[in-house]
Amino acid sequence: MSEAVSEIGLIGLAVMGQNLALNIADHGFKISVYNRTTSKMEEFVAANPDTPGGLVGCETLEGFVASLKRPRKVIILVQAGAATDKVIEGLIPLMEEGDIIIDGGNAKWDDTIRREKELTAKGLRFIGSGVSGGEEGARFGPSLMPGGTEEAWQYLKPVWEAIAAKVDPDTGKPLEGAEPGKPVEGGFSCTTYIGPDGAGHYVKMVHNGIEYGDMQMICEAYDLMQNVLGLTPSEMGDIFGEWNKGDLDSFLIEITADILKQADPVTGKPFVDIVLDTAGQKGTGKWTSVNALDMGTPAPTVAEAVFARCLSAVKEERVAAETILTGPDAPEFTGDKTEMVEAIRQALYCSKICSYAQGFQLMREAQKEYNWTLDFGKIAQIFRGGCIIRAAFLQKITEAYARDPELANLLLDPYFKGAIDACQASWRKVVALAAQYGVSIPTFSSALSYYDGYRTARLPQNLLQAQRDYFGAHTYERVDQPRGQFYHIDWPKPDRPQIEA
């Protein structure tokens, strides 16, 4: 194959690669595909002979590159890290100035910054694009977060806009296909140029961190309803189904309702009851939390969601500890269960607002750190369709940034302030109830502490700074002097001034 026939090419035919390639071909783009293991490519091409655009199977990397129209656009969907570098290394000698490499994997944003720099120096153009939505999203409409060389975006844009999830431009509601599996046309496409070098992969990482928070919050609501109120999975399935009709309308609430209604195919018992309580993770939540620590930006709710998975993983220790460590003697719940369910819903909503406030703060800080100019309203909008955190709520974030693009924190927006004003009494009641009953609610309670800390003009860190000055001469600023002037007391002297009793 030496004739340049394809609009675009894709390397890496694992599940995500196959689905994305079919989505691209469905939209009329001829796409060349290559996989390290040739048999996988052959099976894939043979299984999909009639796509509108057409698949061009390539056995060699040379043939693959030669089959692409210029400037060549090559999407890489292999494992993040060393495999991605290896594939790029193989491509470099085969590509020409101006050609474009697009990494659609879950790359760490600083790897994307490095790769963009290296490829730019070689005359190639690089885009690191977040792809969210799992298999289903990749196949029928993901949320796409491209960052990198801006002029390269113009070449990728027609393809990315065609294949991304579509939402109603006014309401932000996801548009469903006329027929299942048929591409959706029209509407706002859930992709936008995010910013230079690693900006796209950074935003994808924060998306995943927020996803960790959302999932853990839902689990805490489930835990309270199960272990304090004594509700059954099926009853909770109905409740989540109801919640999905209101402020919490989202993909994750919807699938939770489905899961809680699901029977185990083997035993017929509620499916959730037979699933072992140990969660895995691939690292993007951890990256988000580590980055928050590195930048000194509070994102405690995301971090708690990561730690909750870590705690879940030490199953054997927890099983042993349950026989040794005691909790409160919680009485049977005798209050109004319907009222408490509503309080839990409100606590979940408030916690979610705080978690998103933290995620958007993180992006705000990162844009200073990395010299990006991020459009937070647009980012919330492209999360509306295709991705795992898609939710009606994101429209409120878009609206908040439309009201004030410089908004310091989502909590300060009138809509979110109003929501928390209306719901915080319930939120506090739920957090107190969990403490009384000994139910672990790391995200609900950390979000509340974040909220209370953020709205407190004078925190107790006056005492902390005094401690630092005492043992380490770290100095302190004074309330009665301008900021930026530092003082120190010569502490250890026995005759230091004492407060009169």
| Least distance from ligand 2AM to the Cβ atom of residue 238, Å | 39
* Beta bridge pairs of residue 55: 31
- If one asks whether residue 83 binds ligand 2AM (CB under 6 A), the answer comes out as yes
Query: Is the CB of 40 or the CB of 69 nearer to ligand 2AM?
Result: 40
Nearest Cα residue to 492 out of 469, 476, 474, 475: 469
Query: Is the CB of 83 or the CB of 279 nearer to ligand 2AM?
Result: 83
372, 196 Cβ separation under 8 angstroms: yes
- If one asks whether residue 13 binds ligand 2AM (CB under 6 A), the answer comes out as yes
- If one asks whether residue 429 binds ligand 2AM (CB under 6 A), the answer comes out as no
Among 9, 12, 57, 137, binds ligand 2AM (CB under 6 A): 12
Among 33, 61, 87, 199, binds ligand 2AM (CB under 6 A): 87
Helix, strand, coil in percent for the chain, rounding step 5: 55, 10, 35
| Least distance from ligand 2AM to the Cβ atom of residue 82, Å | 7
C-alpha angle 23-26-27 in degrees, rounded to nearest 5: 95
Stretch that binds ligand 2AM, among 19-27, 78-86, 391-399, 404-412 (CB under 6 A): 78-86
Q: Which 28-67 residues touch ligand 2AM, going by CB under 6 A?
A: 35-37, 40
Peptide bond into 71 cis (omega under 30): yes
Query: Is the CB of 19 or the CB of 192 nearer to ligand 2AM?
Result: 19
Residue 34: what residue type? Y
- If one asks whether residue 79 binds ligand 2AM (CB under 6 A), the answer comes out as yes
- If one asks whether residue 248 binds ligand 2AM (CB under 6 A), the answer comes out as no
- If one asks whether residue 14 binds ligand 2AM (CB under 6 A), the answer comes out as yes
Give catalytic residues, as residue numbers.
Answer: 204, 211
- If one asks whether residue 86 binds ligand 2AM (CB under 6 A), the answer comes out as yes
* Beta bridge pairs of residue 148: 127
- If one asks whether residue 334 binds ligand 2AM (CB under 6 A), the answer comes out as no
Where are the extended beta strands (E) located within 133-278? 143-148, 166-167, 188-189
Two tokens at 419? 């929501």
d(CA 33, CA 25): 11
Q: What is the DSSP annotation of 309-358?
A: HHHHH-HHHHHHHHTT-----PPPP-S-HHHHHHHHHHHHHHHHHHHHHH
Residue 259: what residue type? I
- If one asks whether residue 85 binds ligand 2AM (CB under 6 A), the answer comes out as no
Residues that bind ligand 2AM (CB under 6 A): 12-14, 17, 35-37, 40, 78-79, 83, 86-87
